[in-house]
């Protein structure tokens, strides 16, 4: 396992996953805007504009948020590893957390794909944009 971390630290460990997070989030925003417009068609125009602007702001700040989370998680991971007697490279831990953030960003594309596959006819209100992707699939009461 140490060898795989070493390969990770040799290949642009910070910039590449941050760019992946940013590109995935921008792609998700672009894919979500058409379904958001359909779901908010009966809502006031300022609300649709605010939601659209919010989506683009989230996409714009996604790299900074991902980096902040990775720094925090890298710090916690580093502290735990030092406590158990391992001297890890902080940069490698941050890089690992950033790649995890990139994997989490794929979920947004999954949600957009599901909404597109459902079709516009299923979108009558903003609540229809909710796609259950976790353990909430198994609990019926949480859907209402």
pLDDT at res. 13: 79
Q: Does the pLDDT of residue 12 top 80, yes or no? A: no
Reported residue count of the chain is 144
pTM equals 0.80
Match 């990139």 to its residue by tokens.
Answer: 102
Q: Does the pLDDT of residue 56 top 90, yes or no? A: yes
- What pLDDT, in 10s, does the model give residues 88-132? 889 989 999 999 999 999 999 999 998 888 888 888 888 888 888
Ramachandran sector of residue 6 (left: φ over 0; alpha: ψ -120 to 50; beta: rest): alpha
Q: How far apart are the first and last CA of the chain?
A: 44
pLDDT at res. 137: 72
């Amino acid at each position: 396992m140490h060898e795989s971390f070493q390969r990770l630290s040799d290949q642009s460990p910070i910039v590449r996953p941050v760019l992946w997070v940013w590109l995935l989030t921008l792609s998700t925003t672009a894919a979500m805007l058409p379904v958001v417009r359909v779901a908010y068609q009966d809502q006031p125009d300022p609300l649709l504009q605010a939601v659209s602007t919010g989506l683009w702001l989230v996409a714009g700040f996604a790299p900074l948020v991902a980096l902040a989370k990775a720094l925090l998680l890298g710090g916690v991971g580093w502290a735990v590893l030092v406590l158990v007697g391992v001297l890890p490279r902080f940069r490698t831990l941050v890089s690992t957390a950033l790649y995890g953030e990139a994997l989490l960003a794929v979920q947004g594309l999954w949600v957009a794909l599901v909404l597109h596959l459902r079709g516009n006819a299923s979108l009558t209100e903003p609540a229809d944009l909710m796609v259950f992707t976790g353990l909430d699939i198994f609990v019926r009461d949480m859907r209402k």
